[in-house]
Structure 1
């Protein structure tokens, strides 16, 4: 390709940017730190290190929640900062932008992503919208242009998007507020209730990554926090059973939502899905045995991608690099 093109995945947890001919050039946390409500203090991974540790005059937040832009001002500041850092010698000037957005959100919410890029200093030539389920499928090397039904389940940081695709379009889609951050919140609540012990979101994330499983195991982990009885810093042992009890209802919510989509799927597409199974992706799909749990509940083969957190940005890259896939962008 001779023209300049960028693919941007505005994830709740992280932001990723793809440039044609170069691949993924940015992968940082979608976090911003604002000093005294007006000055950008830090962004990305640097700001994430300050999360839950900042003083009162430093606000650290995620501008995207539940798949939509919750704070447009902070999100604009975040993307402007990244573009300024990356745009050496104005190598992005006049580039076309391909932005991934969830399907099951309002047109106004989708328009916010478009306006976000239009208001940057890049002076973009064109802005294209690519629906995330389509990007997911392309990122997993699936040819969704054929008349074959495909079921994609993307479990992200704040949401899970369940979509049925065929002939290059979306037949059905459902976005539910269940994802990695909800898992963390459930872990925090469980430990507080059962052990009178308080941990932060980052500690909960470590528990989730290390010992969370869709089935009970004999694993355990030491974690630091505050004892509610004494009020003092302390350390406790958390078991896989504790984490499983905290998350089992959320796992079931995901399965129930997949069932709802399958009940509404046309029978010919259902036949295709039965043969090929469902495709599980998203960073939170890495939880141990989650694919096995879905298989046991639904009886469908579960295909898991090696880099589930990168399927959207790789799918945008496929649209950018392959002219035949460009028509899948809006």
Structure 2
């Protein structure tokens, strides 16, 4: 693949863009702030700063939900905003080719939405290709997906967890479940409100998860958090322990483990022997939860590998597919439908 080539990972939580021969040129929150329903005033990290703090006339939202585009108009505005950010000289950006990562276990219509979004954007390119996220994940981890040896990757994202078995450059079996980091954040919020009479925001619950989340009851750690007392309605401070966080998220962690077991039960026996050798590879933003590898290993009896740079494996995989001609066959094309009239 020659010329100006870009890879885009439209995550629920973040948007990342890779540029050939340069590397990752954009890594921002996949959020947009719209004033009075028509004027885009911020996007990315700037919009995230406004989240849960904006007045009623400013709506801050995630255009991608559960791994698919939920708000095509705002996603198009956000993508064009990011194009202007990385290319300050011009509103449009010419590209020889663009490769987009999409979840595998979604409908053709949902997959096409990603393709048509990029075709309608200020990326001036007629060559748009799709790579399924599990494939990009595996390549980004450093696995060879083009040979006959089967590999298993579990990507725990913001809204979804995708469990996939791959071999010979394709997906043998895959399952997408609607549980990810955001569901863990929500369960922490509910637990804190119920047990501590404290209402906290999404950002606070996410920081609690990053600091204290654990798959097993571990050494007692705690942090102070701030919110609004349910009874008095006044600002308040409480101390949250790691045991409380473990109790609030453990049900969802076992749901992820159950999804892994279901896929293993459906895996062809020859690939099962490959997975026994190589183990399960865990990636995504919530892969860093303390003790998660031990929990999955205990429940499955398999070796579990937590990937380095787990949040960037998809975009790094897109980068390798762009840079290595031998991997270019992993990207496939779709026909275009233009949204921009």
TM range (shorter): over 0.9
Q: Tell me the equivalent position of 1:281.
A: 283
- C-alpha contact (below 8 Å) 1:211/1:240 kept by paired residues: yes
Alignment of structure 1 residues 47-62 onto 2, 5 Å? 47-62=47-62
Q: Tell me the equivalent position of 1:232.
A: 234
Q: Tell me the equivalent position of 1:181.
A: 182
Q: Tell me the equivalent position of 1:328.
A: 330
Q: Tell me the equivalent position of 1:85.
A: 85
The structural deviation recorded for 1:94 is 3.3
In structure 2, runs of 5+ residues without a counterpart are 333-341
The structural deviation recorded for 1:95 is 2.8
Q: Tell me the equivalent position of 2:262.
A: 260
Separation in structure 2 between the aligned mates of residue 122 and residue 135 of structure 1, nearest angstrom: 21
Q: Tell me the equivalent position of 2:105.
A: 104
TM-score by length of 1: 0.98
The 3-state SS of whatever aligns with 1:7 is strand
Q: Tell me the equivalent position of 1:4.
A: 4
- C-alpha contact (below 8 Å) 2:216/2:246 kept by paired residues: yes
Separation in structure 2 between the aligned mates of residue 303 and residue 138 of structure 1, nearest angstrom: 15
Runs of at least 4 residues off by over 6 Å: none
Q: Tell me the equivalent position of 1:139.
A: 140
The answer to which of 83-92 and 63-72 deviates more is 83-92
- C-alpha contact (below 8 Å) 1:4/1:92 kept by paired residues: no
The 3-state SS of whatever aligns with 2:124 is coil
TM-score by length of 2: 0.95
Alignment of structure 1 residues 1-330 onto 2, 5 Å? 2-89=2-89, 92-217=93-218, 218-330=220-332
- C-alpha contact (below 8 Å) 2:179/2:256 kept by paired residues: yes
Q: Tell me the equivalent position of 2:335.
A: none
- Give the alignment's Cα RMSD to 1 decimal: 1.0
- C-alpha contact (below 8 Å) 2:6/2:95 kept by paired residues: no
The 3-state SS of whatever aligns with 2:9 is strand
Partner deviation per Cα, 1:41-66 (whole Å, 9 max, x = no partner): 10000000010111000000000000
The answer to which of 129-138 and 287-296 deviates more is 287-296
Partner deviation per Cα, 1:147-167 (whole Å, 9 max, x = no partner): 101000000000000000001
- C-alpha contact (below 8 Å) 2:184/2:209 kept by paired residues: yes
The 3-state SS of whatever aligns with 1:226 is strand
- C-alpha contact (below 8 Å) 2:119/2:126 kept by paired residues: no
In structure 1, runs of 5+ residues without a counterpart are none
The 3-state SS of whatever aligns with 1:244 is helix
The structural deviation recorded for 1:227 is 0.8
Partner deviation per Cα, 1:57-104 (whole Å, 9 max, x = no partner): 000000000000000011000000111121244594133100000000
The 3-state SS of whatever aligns with 1:49 is helix
The structural deviation recorded for 1:2 is 3.7
Closer/same/farther in 2, CA of residues 88 and 231 from structure 1, 3 Å limit: closer
